[in-house]
Amino acid sequence: MKCRQNLAKTFGGNNPLPAILVCDRDTAFREALRNFLLAAGYAQVEVTATVQEALARLRRERYRHVLIGISRPFLVGRRLATIAQRRQPEAKIFFLVGAKDQPFIKDASFETVIKEYVYSNLLAVM
């Protein structure tokens, strides 16, 4: 996995890659993404189903990446992203958006990754 090797070099040789928080309502997607990121070399990938759970984790832990599943209504995910950015300004925040919802994401203040292509695109943008 060339991408994993490049990421490991970026973050200090063979040390585990930085922590990630994934917040998405879809259990199957959330767990599959967690397993994918663990296989890519990230040692800490925490997953949550609710905004409240994500906010509690953001209070307790530091994350390098925060991945937020966005679906209608979009306001909830945007609010979580704004709070996450305020609490952890060094974290890179991504919206995970279904292809059918992409046209509705207008104010993309944060990087957007299409869920259907997450496995081929996410590591490259992180």
Alpha helices in 40-117 (DSSP H): 51-60, 74-87
Does the model's pTM come out above 0.85?
Answer: no
Q: Which residues contact 32 (CB under 8 A, 6 or more apart)?
A: none
Per-residue pLDDT of the chain in tens (126 residues, 90 and over written 9) = 444 444 444 444 454 557 999 999 999 999 999 999 999 999 899 999 999 999 999 999 999 999 999 877 667 888 899 999 999 999 999 999 888 777 666 666 788 888 888 888 888 887
Domain boundary assignment for the chain: 2-125
- With tokens 């767990």, the residue in question is 31
CATH superfamily for 2-125 is Response regulator (3.40.50.2300)
Sign of CA dihedral 118, 120, 121, 126: positive
